[in-house]
Amino acid sequence: MAWFHHIGSALPALLRRKEVEREMDDEMRFHLDMEAKQNERAGMSADAARLSAVRAFGGVERYKEAVRDERGARWFEDLGQDARYAWRTLRRRAGFTFVAALTFALGIGATTTLFSVVKAVLLTPLPYGRPESIAMIWSAWKGFDQTWLSYDEWEAYDSEIRAFADVGLFTDGSITLTGDGEPERLRAGSVHANVFSILGVQPLLGRGFTAEEDRPNGPPVIVLSHGLWQRRFGSDPAIIGRAIQVGGQATTVVGVMPDGFRLPLDFGAAGATEVWQPLATDAAQNGAAPGPAFSPDGMSHGYYGVARLAPGATAEGADRELRALFAHLVREGTYPAEMQFRAFTVPVEQQVTGRVRPVLLVVFAAVGFVLLIACANVAGLLLVRGEARRRELAVRVALGAGVRRLTRQLLTETVVLAGAGGALGVGLAALGIELVRRAAPAGLPRVAEAKLDPAVLLFALGLAGLAALLSGVLPALQASRIAPSSELKEGGRSASVGRGRLRWRQTLVATEVALAVVLVVGAGLMIRSVANLLAIDAGFRPDGVLTMRLSTPSTWYPDSVRVAAFYDDLQPRIDALPGVEAVGAARLLPLSSEMGDWGLVVEGYTPPPNEGTPGDWQVVTPGYFEAMGLKRVAGRFVEQRDRMDAPFVLIVNRRFTERYLAGRQAIGARVKIGNPDNPWTTIVGVVENVRHNALTSEVKPQFYAPLAQFAVTTGNTMRGMTLVVRTSGDPKSLIPPVRSILRSIDPRLPVSEVRTMEQVVGASIAEPRFAMELLGLFGVLALVLSAVGIYGIVSQVVAARAQEFGIRAALGASPRDLVMLSLRSGARQTVAGLALGTGVALLLTRAMTKLLHGVTPTDPVTFAAVVAVTAAVALAATIAPARRAGRADPMSVLHEG
């Protein structure tokens, strides 16, 4: 087929439509003139000559139509005409159009919103060079599934694992920035000089670190994030080479990273590091043996490891090499076999999105179901309308409109509807994306990057097309079967709607119910799961508690005496505020960070060979237990008298006593923290277990050391502590007075992470709660849409059967009989839908297993409740139209008949 000729004729026909039409007129007029003139020459009168010419031509308009058809542009011209016609039809029925377009808009808007999130979080590559060959390296041993590396391990991986092209270490902490305005506490990363190049990222300005800078006592240098550079330094390119005050020390800025750069672990809830300094450490500092050898004491694990895989190497290959290496280390006796030491890699993409992937995919699938329901709904509405328009369509067929043309016109109507719905839906999506970005859990990485970009818009357009197709096919099929003769012969009245036509609508009802069941089951499971999480006793009382992170830098608080003095000064002043019931401080807030452990010596307890006596370490000031609402099991809490020069005391959790002091009196038992040369401390109290790492995590033995004594008992001075204030009123109302007290004591101190404890608990279950909220929202949406759909369809069925009902009423059926009759017709589809939905849900909810806590994906209680709720909603949607059936008036039938 010479398509170019086709286009060659179609294009001008479209572009110069008027001109082409005029030329056709001229040509045919010329023909008729010539013919008429010839007829005159043959002796006819002028009038007869013209008449004969026209007759011989055979109908000017008819052949004009035929020529238009031949131009090949017909399809486009018709489309424009159909669209205009559709628009007029839709405008005439504003109510129907509004409901249908709004339904489309909800479905398309919700789906587009979720797609933009999925795209930002799961589909957009991480901002690294070739992220597919970057992997995190983790250690694991008994009781620790995924934890830090030691310096010795890094040296071994760097030199011995061939699958790694390059390996680097980093840690995170925080620094205080002064000068250039308000003091600011920032999360800071300490990185090996090669970490930026392992991640495949070049600084935007300046450079990364050199090997000379990345060694102990190297020059103080720092690299800034793009955001900090913009915010605090006004995007000044002259910042490179300038000295800024970091923790009171002049530090040279050597580089600024590009916008969006983050370390691999900075995509999570804890927030991102904003400045980077050289790790600047060596084997000696880490008690490690230099080179690939392992020091007998060099097992302090405190670094994150990241590797660039060698060309052609895979993460699995690296894991195999790591397994072999550890088998060797255990054989050599470097690592005790009982500890079950191992190491493994996690590809960086999986590291960042692995946890949220199942949540997002489940939610995305759910929103797809909402869209399907929306389509079913509009299809139902269109079918109902198609029923009402049968006569109009039949008349048009009888007048010569092709059935194919009619079908296309109906489809065009749906496309216009879906287009309007899509446009509205994109508006909704813009709002939805904004909402999700605000409401999304902090742990949902990169959700801030979700936006309405061209790809998302294209997706929305595709959805609109899909929606039009899905909801337009049935009504178009319905129209294509219109036979004008029978339609018009019925005299416009039919006693009942044909069975075939009803079946489509009934199938739609069943489908909507089934889809709603699946969605509501998903929502129900999440609600049960989150309820289970909230029912867990975390071991403290979060209500009425305000928390904020404080830091006492060594520049201004050189030793632990000054630090303790600061809290001694601070706490009574806060205590004096009206409404404050208790105030204290702790090293780490429960449910907001992972707690590490120290090796302990517990008097009278001999650990099994090679197992050690680890204890999770918490450091607190007096008042912490009362402020956090911990439950006392025995003895006492930390008190004011536990000063540096007083007898050393320790509080332990119940798990500690069960594990290390089983069958013994806990109070009075003695413990050494860390090095066996450290002094003994005496247990003076036992508290109930606190679920520190997560609501669902295992509780390990834990101890609480008084801040004032910790520096003496271990040689460590605590720099960062979190203030905890319990009040009888609204904890947030305490923020200004507490801040002003802090300022009056030391205006240089930065305050960060100001949160209520309820916010902290909420954030710890943010992902399941996010899934619950979205699935709940979609579930409600599904129920409402289905109810509307069922109502519409049943109403129409009742209306179509009005004459039948009238006849039945005339023959003696009671209103109740009629109501029951129409209820029954709806009930069968509802039951079919419930059964189908339950079956599909049983298959699909398995995908949610990872999201659920304390409830199985096939939880019978949830399923039963959902079936009951959906059935009730479907029944409610059926009742109103059914009651209308009961009011069928026999007289009207008889009169009209």
Partner 1 sequence: MADSRSEILQGTLEMLVLKTLSLEPMHGWGISLRIRQISGEVFEVNQGSLYPALQRMLRRGLIRSAWRTTEHNRRARYYEITREGTGRLEAQVAEWDRSSGAVNRVLRFAFQGG
Which residues sit at the interface with partner 1, rule CB under 8 A? 2, 5-6, 8-9, 23-24, 26-28, 30-31, 33-35, 38, 56-60, 62-63, 66-67, 69-72
Pair 212, 259: CB distance under 8 Å: no
- Cβ nearer to partner 1, comparing 11 with 864: 11
Minimum CB distance to partner 1, residue 57 (Å): 4
Cα 724 to Cα 304, 445, 719, 733, distances in angstroms:
30, 28, 16, 14
Six token digits for residue 700: 């390990």
Label residue 753 left, alpha or beta by phi (over 0 means left) and psi (-120 to 50 means alpha): left
Beta strands 149-150; 301-309: pairing state? antiparallel
Nearer to partner 1, 23 or 758 (CB): 23
Give the amino acid at 499.
R
Minimum CB–partner distance for residue 45 and partner 1 (Å): 20
Q: Rounded to the nearest whole angstrom, what is the least distance from the CB of residue 399 to partner 1 in the complex? A: 17
Four-point Cα dihedral 315, 321, 323, 326, nearest 10: -130
CA distance 231 to 347: 32
Residue 652 β-bridge partners: 686, 703
788: left (phi over 0), alpha (psi -120 to 50) or beta: alpha
Smallest distance from partner 1 to CB 14, Å: 14
Q: Of 56 and 864, which CB lies nearer to partner 1 in the complex structure?
A: 56
Smaller CB distance to partner 1: residue 28 or 272?
28
Element (H, E) at 24: helix 17-41
Contact present, 409 and 397 (Cβ < 8 Å) = no
**Of 696, 442, 742, nearest to 577 (Cα)?**
742
Q: Among residues 69 and 316, whose Cβ is nearest to partner 1?
A: 69
Minimum distance from residue 65 beta carbon to partner 1 (Å): 9
User: Nearer to partner 1 by C-beta: 35 or 434?
Assistant: 35
| Beta-carbon contacts of residue 717 (< 8 Å; ≥ 6 apart) | 554, 559, 560, 563, 711
Q: State which residue, 52 or 858, has the beta carbon closest to partner 1.
A: 52
Place of tokens 């780490």: 588
SS3 706: strand
Spatial contact of 192 and 214, defined as CB atoms under 8 Å apart = yes
Residue 51 beta carbon to partner 1: minimum distance, rounded to whole angstroms: 14
d(CA 257, CA 516): 48
| Contact between residue 151 and residue 286 where contact means Cβ atoms under 8 Å apart | yes
Task: Provide, rounded to whole angstroms, the least separation between the CB of residue 26 and partner 1.
Answer: 7
Q: Which two tokens stand for residue 312?
A: 């052609």
For the bound state, the minimum distance from the C-beta of residue 31 to partner 1, rounded and expressed in Å, comes to: 4
* Nearest distance from C-beta of residue 802 to partner 1, angstroms: 39
Q: At what angle do helices 17-41 and 60-71 cross, to 10 degrees?
A: 140
Burial of 241 (0-12, 13-18, 19+ CB in 10 A): exposed
Compare residues 58 and 311 and give the one whose CB is closer to partner 1. Answer: 58
Tell me the DSSP string of 585-647: EESS-TTTS---EEEEEETT--PSTTT--EEEEEEE-TTHHHHHTPPEEEE----TT--TTSP
Residue 33: CB minimum distance to partner 1, A = 8
State which residue, 30 or 98, has the beta carbon closest to partner 1.
30
Question: Residue 578 is encoded by which pair of tokens?
Answer: 């009206």
- Closest CB to partner 1 among 44 and 751? 44
The distance of closest approach from Cβ of residue 508 to partner 1 in the complex, given in angstroms and rounded to an integer, is 35
In angstroms, how far apart are the furthest CA atoms of the chain? 139
Minimum CB distance to partner 1, residue 386 (Å) = 26
Q: How far is CA 293 from CA 156, 157, 296, in A?
A: 7, 11, 10
Distance CA 779, CA 373 (A): 11
| Closer to partner 1 by Cβ: residue 53 or 195 | 53
In sequence order, which residues have a C-beta less than 8 Å from that of residue 702 and are 6 or more positions away? Answer: 595, 615, 616, 617, 618, 652, 653, 655, 656, 689, 690, 692
Structure tokens at 615: 């204890």
Q: Measured from the CB atom, is 48 or 843 closer to partner 1?
A: 48
Q: Least Å distance between CB 411 and partner 1? A: 24
Q: How far is the CB of 391 from partner 1 (least distance, A)?
A: 25
Nearer to partner 1, 38 or 159 (CB): 38
Token couple for 262: 């983050």
Q: Minimum distance from CB of 39 to partner 1 (Å)?
A: 12
Which lies closer to partner 1 via its Cβ, residue 8 or residue 333? 8
Comparison of 34 and 843: residue with beta carbon closer to partner 1: 34
Instruction: List C-alpha distances in Å: 131 to 124, 126, 269, 271, 355.
Output: 11, 6, 21, 21, 18
- Strand pairing of 249-256 and 243-246? antiparallel
* CB nearer to partner 1: pick between 68 and 587: 68
State the minimum distance, in angstroms, from the CB of residue 462 to partner 1. Answer: 33
How far, in Å, CA of 848 to CA of 364, rounded?
Answer: 12
